[in-house]
Amino acid sequence: MQNPSPGSVCPADGRELPLVEASSRDDVRQAIISARKAQVEWSQLGLATRAELLKQVGRRILEHQEAGCQVLSDETGRGKTECRMTEIASTGDYVKGAIRAAKVALAPERIKLSSLDFPGKRVVVESVPRGVIGIIAPWNYPISNFYKSLWPALLAGNGVVMKPSEHTPRSGAWLQEQCAAVLPEGLVGLVQGRGDVGQGLIDEGVDSIVFTGSVPTGRKVALAAAERLIPASLELGGKDAAIVLADCDLERTSVGIAQWSMHNAGQNCAGIERVYVEEAVADEFVRRLGAIADKLRVAPGEGPTDLGPLQNAGQLAIVERHVADARAKGATVVAGGEATGQGYGYRPTVLDHCSADMLVVSEETFGPVVAVIRVKDAAEAVQQANDSKYGLNGSIWTRDIARGEALARRLEVGVALVNNHSFTGILPETPWTGVKETGTGIAASRHAYHSFVRPRTVLIDSSSKPDPFWFPANEDLETMSQALVLRNQGSFGALFKLAGLLGKRIKAIRGLAQG
């Protein structure tokens, strides 16, 4: 296929898809205005009511899953079974988990105060919705990528304006339609288009922006948000590493690494792209991994398929360039290494004898390609795994669980795993976050709520007496300040002195008030 307009063809077979019109700047402005209007009443409903309505949205998504899977399949080229498994089937459970996290994150915090120092006073810290949240999602998981931010934002009492990727506009539109069928009119808005439309969300006044995408675009989003002094949650690139130790279960490890490197044709920010394997088992591991890759079926095909094509021509070009670079620098192609010739399909690829100077080791490939790097021991593996500008997930594969845990905690990542990878992305109560150029964002869990709420401190003073440090200043106030210092240094005698001064200070303050 030639390089068509984004989102205009099915990646599996080149079938033309109806064009989706880009939103104008006025469309963006009106979507924000509508969401802000609906948000006022939504925020007053209370968490329990909002949660029940989101459960209804979740049920509706499941009830209409066949249509959702069709849209996903058209836009990503994946088979319907894979679409259902990755983006639809767990929706209800994800919403329920998000509700549990919200109950923790949004619970008022009561601050304990000393009744001696602060008589008659109580303090509570509340979570106040920011207003309207802009969510810019990528094309690799065009529905479920919204979940990590959409549900928390709504549970917190915000309105939302969604911007799907221009490569997968219909999937985002389908999700917004399910929300609109249940929730107040305008609460969840939708805008379509390229980067200028995302810029418009910031320019036209969202109160917080959530962006998932590339590092260069993420930097632009961060700068634009900084100009408006609004929070920006950024989930950017990844180059995940798995470390295979000599004592691992080779059968389970090879299948697990095949899963998390080839799943969704490798178009996963937390997909395994680098494998550091100890020399003692490297030959057997590579043999097993290559054999598995050769058996995987790429859509379109007869019967069930294991992975779809790459989503667009640009991504196919990146994968081909990275593999060619690895070959030129001495990597061995164990499996795959070429396009299928149908749509944007690319064969599951295993490259052995890779090195740090290769693009498949240093840059995000985002395709069904795994680079194997042989190391002498675990220490070298950890050092090389950490020698990356990214840090999302990292995993250790071993039978020695205690050692695996210790090594996993040495990985410079946001999510560390033992004998699995990328798994926590389906757990709504665990933070999805990274370090380095992977970005500053935290998605899912109670830890994500900085993007969606601001704290408000409320102090209630029911005391009938003035505070003893109020005007006027006099010798008793000076003596009191000295006694406070002594008390905080552990002097019990200072307590008696303070008790004697309180009455005198209150009398002086009341005298000032009486003129």
Q: What's the rounded Cα separation, in Å, for the pair 319 and 262?
A: 13
Instruction: Describe the crossing of helices 475-488 and 493-513 by its angle, rounded to 10 degrees.
Output: 150
Report residue 104: phi and psi, to 5°.
Answer: -75, -45
| Relative orientation angle of helices 144-155 and 91-105, to the nearest 10 degrees | 40
Q: Which of 82, 235, 363, 437 is catalytic?
A: 235
Q: Please tell me the distance from the alpha carbon of residue 41 to that of residue 440, in angstroms, as a whole number.
A: 31
Q: Which of 320, 224, 342, 331 is nearest to 286 (CA)?
A: 331
Quick check: 463 and 119 in contact, CB under 8 A?
Answer: yes
Sheet holding 393-397, edge to edge: 332-335, 349-352, 369-375, 272-278, 240-244, 393-397, 415-418
Per the listing, tokens 């259902």 go with: 84
Torsion 357-362-364-365 (CA) sign: positive
Residues 6+ apart with CB under 8 A from 444: 98, 101, 148, 152, 427, 428, 429, 430, 431, 432
User: Annotated catalytic residue: which of 248, 269, 278, 354?
Assistant: 269
For residues 98 and 87, what is the distance between their CA atoms, to the nearest angstrom?
Answer: 16
Task: With residue 235 as reference, give the H or E element that holds it.
Answer: strand 232-235
Handedness of CA 373, 379, 380, 383 (dihedral sign): positive
CA 88, 94, 99, 101 torsion: positive or negative? negative
Question: CA geometry: angle at 110 spanning 107 and 116, to 5°?
Answer: 175
Distance CA 50, CA 56 (A): 10
| Residue labelled with tokens 């303050």 | 509
Give the burial class of 41: count Cβ atoms within 10 A of its Cβ; 0-12 exposed, 13-18 middle, 19 or more buried: exposed
Token pair 């802009």 is at which residue? 134
Give the closest residue to 131 by CA, choosing from 230, 29, 211. Answer: 230
Q: Is 235 a catalytic residue?
A: yes
Distance CA 379, CA 396 (A): 12
Active site amino acids: 235, 269
